[in-house]
Amino acid sequence: MIPAIARLEATAVLRARWFLAALALSAGMVGFFVLVSVRESSVLGFTGFGRVMGGVVQASLLLLPLLATFSTAQAITASQQTGVLEWYLSYPNSRGRCFWSLFLPRLAAVALPVVGAVLALACGAAVLGEPVDPALLGVFTAVLLGQGTCFASLGMLASAVSRSPEQALLRGLVVWVACAVLVDFVILGLLLQWDVEPRVVFALAGLNPMQAGRIGVLAAVEPEMTALGPVGAWAVRTLGARVVVAYGLGWPFAVGALALAWARAAFERRDVV
């Protein structure tokens, strides 16, 4: 029964405007970075597939979590409000089946366009004779899938613990803003205002899954890049580039798994009538 419900949800997702926005953003982002790499690479020193893809993935680390959070933040509450969830459960379906049918199509709709754009750019680079490192391509793909899974799961958690679609959307926005903006300002404030041990501040920064993915990408492209920033530079110097890349890949998946388990537990206890 899962495929039947999932097909219904996938059809609804494909008709949604945010899915078309995800496709347009993926295509536009790749085109922008290709144009910049062609025009400015000789000036900035950013040449080769790895550097171009690093820019694409860095931009994706801001946009993909936003789309993933918003795509799932209203999945449960909106379905409950419209009576769709009650209709699903009126058939011999468990709550677990309904939960996964609500989650998986939205995750695929958010993550696959971005990952597809990265793979298409890699194929284009190979056709044009640019060397493409399969290991680096694998890191980029895994980072994007990890970010999509993490923030789609956080959005699902926001939806599972909220009473209305508006409340769930607001909570999802708070999560994204906290990871994208507020955490960096808090860290800077701790460094500037209080005598906090740097390793404590850097460890707090590493708890942010978006920051972990960003550092992992930069460490994979070029561990000596100044774009790593203080947190990334400290992590690479202290732990090594391989450990940092592994952490950037694994931590978002771990956060997503915890959020998804919490969301499913809340959904199992939720009154859907």
Q: What is the rounded average pLDDT of the residues 66-89?
A: 83
Whole-angstrom distance, CA of residue 40 vs CA of residue 28: 18
Whole-angstrom distance, CA of residue 97 vs CA of residue 229: 43
For residue range 152-189, list pLDDT tens digits in order.
999 999 999 988 888 988 998 898 888 887 666 666 66
What is the three-class DSSP state of 106?
helix
- Per-residue pLDDT at 40 exceeds 70: no
Whole-angstrom distance, CA of residue 170 vs CA of residue 61: 20
* Residue 143 domain boundaries: 2-269
What is the model's pLDDT at position 192? 59
| CA-based nearest residue to 149, from 64, 231, 80 | 64
- Return the structure tokens found at 246: 């592994």
Contacts of 55 (CB under 8 A, 6+ apart): 33, 36, 37, 46
For residue range 193-246, list pLDDT tens digits in order.
666 666 676 677 778 888 888 877 777 766 555 555 555 566 666 666 678 788
Let me know: does 216 contact 248? Beta carbons within 8 Å. yes
Whole-angstrom distance, CA of residue 191 vs CA of residue 120: 41
What is the model's pLDDT at position 85? 78
Characterize 121-134 residue by residue with b for buried, 16 or more Cβ atoms within 10 angstroms of its Cβ, and e for exposed: bbeebeeeeeebbe
- Per-residue pLDDT at 113 exceeds 90: no
Whole-angstrom distance, CA of residue 218 vs CA of residue 214: 6
What is the model's pLDDT at position 42? 44
| CA-based nearest residue to 67, from 99, 109, 105 | 109
- Per-residue pLDDT at 258 exceeds 90: yes
Whole-angstrom distance, CA of residue 70 vs CA of residue 157: 12
Tally of domains within the chain: 1
What is the model's pLDDT at position 77? 87
What is the model's pLDDT at position 229? 54
What is the model's pLDDT at position 257? 95
